[in-house]
Amino acid sequence: MLLQVQDGQGTPQTVITAGQETVTDLSGVITATGGSQVLASASTGRSGWFFQNQGVNNMFINELGAAATEVPAQDAGSICVPPLGILRAPADAPVTVAQLNVVGTSGDAYVFHQW
């Protein structure tokens, strides 16, 4: 849940807290091997998300709005999620409002929920 509060200097701040939000299921299947596809559109209302790779091959998530890549370069921005691996928005860090993208192997399924 996103809450708007003011800090001690009167500056508006957004705070994320656990709540009874509606969960949206955006689960799917990789449509083309090696091609980045949209996992979730940009959303300023997103306060959390959960991803599980249910395929048999690695998948790579980019939560910075850029295309996901399988390149393990430090500046590529994509995070590897192994088969049956889970990646979720961190509880102690900002939640991205940018588009999330995924790349993997055609036919591999994934679960993706956001709230």
Please tell me the CATH code under which domain 19-114 is placed.
2.60.120.770
Query: Which residues are CB-neighbours of 94 under 8 A, at least 6 positions away?
Result: none
Residue ranges per domain, the chain? 19-114
pTM above 0.75, yes or no: yes
The first and second tokens of residue 38, run together, are: 């949209």
The pLDDT tens digits along the chain (115 residues) read 667 788 888 888 877 666 667 899 999 999 999 999 999 999 998 989 999 999 999 999 999 999 999 876 666 689 999 999 999 998 888 899 999 999 999 999 999 999 9
Q: What is the DSSP letter of 2?
A: E
Alpha carbon distance 77, 56 (integer Å): 22
